[in-house]
Amino acid sequence: MNSDVEIAGDPLAVQHLMPSDPGHPATVSGYAGLLRGLAADRSAWAPLVRYDPEPRWYHRLRSGPGYEVWLLSWLPGQGSGRHDHGPSSGVFGLLQGELTEHGAGSRTLRPGALRVFGPGYVHEVVNDGLEPAVSAHVYAPGLTSMPMHCSAREGRPREALAR
């Protein structure tokens, strides 16, 4: 053997060991490029956007090997609740409007800036503004769970708030 590295188990179960598909992004910078390209091509997403007061609107825009791209709309006052993304990492950004992210501190998200997070990252995103907002999110691997956490602002489990 020419290497002192041996793979135990199924190498195809370890996504970063799989050969990348040149037609799809497979890195953070690739996902960021995908989102920047999407933001620059308003005709690719604007006609699809809907605004729904209940529940918040979302749409899977595309998927590829090991990732999914979601389009979300946020009416004023709508929010995600405090949550994580299970085993998924993510890159997301604003296509239109402004959102506020509460995580480790709070920040205003505007078009042009991207946020990157790893598995287990906990945050809450809300539209505190007066105008609707649209965001795009890449999850890798695709989102399989979104466990809810106690809201830092409300101090009790989200499930309890629904009743």
Residue 123 among known ligand-binding residues: yes
Nearest by Cα to 60 from 163, 138, 153: 138
Residue 137 among known ligand-binding residues: no
Contact 91, 116 (CB under 8 A): yes
Return the beta strands (E) in the chain as ranges: 58-64, 67-74, 89-96, 99-103, 105-109, 114-117, 124-126, 133-140
Q: How many CA atoms lie within 13 A of 135 on its CB side?
A: 28
Residue 149 among known ligand-binding residues: no
CA geometry: angle 153, 154, 156, nearest 5 deg: 130
Contact 42, 48 (CB under 8 A): no
Residues at the binding site for Fe cation are: 83, 85, 123
Residues at the binding site are: 83, 85, 123
